Amino acid sequence: MKYLVTGGAGFIGSAVVRHIINSTEHSVVVVDKLTYAGNLNSLADVSESERFAFVKADICDQEHITQVFSEHKPDIVMHLAAESHVDRSIDGPAEFIQTNIFGTYVMLDVARKYFNGLEEAQKRAFRFHHISTDEVYGDLDGTDDLFTEETSYSPSSPYSASKASSDHLVRAWNRTYGLPVVVTNCSNNYGPYHFPEKLIPLMILNALEGKALPVYGNGEQIRDWLYVEDHAEALFLVATNGKIGETYNIGGHNEVANIQVVRTICGLLEEIRPEKPAGVENYADLIEFVTDRPGHDVRYAIDAAKIEKDLGWTPKETFETGLRKTVEWYLANESWWTSVLDGSYARQRLGNENS
C-alpha cells in the first residue's frame, strides 16, 4: 500500500511517517509545504528508505496536488497538514482559514476525482483519513464529562473553528459524493520532535536556558495528554482498518492540569539535569503566571472507548513514562532543537521541491 501523508514533516505527521516506514512494509509519500512547523530533520531517520518520497507542495495548490495524486497513485490519504497553534490563530486567523478550510477542500476535491477514476478493487481499498482535534468540541463544564464521537461542536478559537469546518467538509464529501472517509479527533500530543512554541517543549528548553516558564492564568486548565508515538500507531490503525464514515476519538487517558505538567517537567530536570543555568537554584523558581489567553478552554478529556472496542487500540505510555521519554529526548537531541531555535532548519525549505 502507498500512503500519502500531508503535513508529513510536522510533529504528528513525521511520527506517522516514521511509524509506517519503521514498522510496516508500506510506502509513504510526504506532501509538505515546509512552513515554520515543517522540519525535514524530523524525517532524517527514514528519508533514505526506498519506500519514502517527499514532495514540497502547498495543499491549497490544486494543480500541484492533482499532479501528486496522478504521479504517486496513493491507496490511502492521511491528511494532517494544518495550521495548529491557537495563539497564532488569534493573532492571524486568515492563514488558518486558508490552510485548514480551503486546503482541506482542495484535498477532498482532488481525492474525489482521483477516486472516481480508480478500478473497483482500488476503490474498495481507498481511504481518505482526516486527522483533527478535540478542540472542535469546545471545553467541558464538569469534572467527569468526556468528549465522545457524538459530542456537539462548539469551537472556541479561530484554530478550532477552522478545524471544525474542515471536519464538516470531510463528512459532507462522504455523504454527497461517496468519498470513503474516516475522521479522528485527538487530545493534546507531546513527545519527540515537537516544535518549541508548544507548552511541553517550550518549558523544557526555557528551563535549560534559565528563562521564565510562562503559565497562562492560574495554570489549572486541564488537558488529556497523548504521547505522539501512541497517536501515530492509532492513526495508522484507523487509516487501515477504520470503518468508512466513522469518527474515532483518540486520547491518552492522562488528564493533567497545565501547572502540574510544568512542575513535573521541573522535577524531571532536577533529577536528570541537576546542573542548572547560572542564577537558578530550582527549576520551579522559573515558573511565571501570565495573562490568560482569550477564550481559553478550561478542560478537555477524551472518551477513547470506541477505538479500543472497535480496533483494539490503547495507549502504551502513561503521562509519567511518556513525559520522561520526552525530556530525555530533548536532552539527547540538542542539535534538532537548536537548529529550530536559531532558524537554520529553515534553509531546507529552499531547493527541496522533490526528493
The C-alpha atoms of residue 165 and residue 133 are separated, in whole angstroms, by 12
Please indicate whether residue 134 is annotated as part of the active site. Answer: yes
Q: Strands 76-79 and 27-32: what pairing?
A: unpaired
Look up 114 and say whether it is catalytic: no
Determine the length of the chain.
355
In this structure, what are the phi and psi dihedrals at residue 77, rounded to the nearest 5 degrees? -105, 130
Q: φ, ψ for residue 182 (rounded to 5)?
A: -135, 150
* Residue 159 annotated in active site: yes
- The pairing of beta strand 222-227 with beta strand 255-257: antiparallel
Residue whose C-alpha cell reads 517527499 in the numeric block: 54
Among candidate residues 135, 230, 233, 317, the one labeled active-site is 135
Three-state DSSP at 279 gives coil
- Candidates 3, 105, 137, 159; catalytic one: 159
Helix spans in the chain (H): 11-23, 62-72, 86-91, 94-96, 103-116, 120-125, 158-177, 199-208, 228-241, 258-272, 305-311, 319-332, 334-341
Those residues with Cβ within 8 angstroms of residue 349's Cβ, 6 or more apart along the chain or in another chain: 34, 38, 56
| The three three-digit cell numbers of residue 131, written as one number | 486527522
Closest CA to 96 of 110, 109, 107, 85: 85
Active-site entry in 32, 58, 83, 134: 134
Pairing assessment for the beta strands 222-227 and 188-190 based on DSSP bridges = parallel
**How far does CA 282 lie from the centroid of its chain?**
32
Q: Which three cell numbers stand for residue 243?
A: 470503518
- CA–CA dist 2, 26 (Å, integer): 6
Secondary structure (3-state) at 345: helix
Known catalytic residues are: 134-135, 159
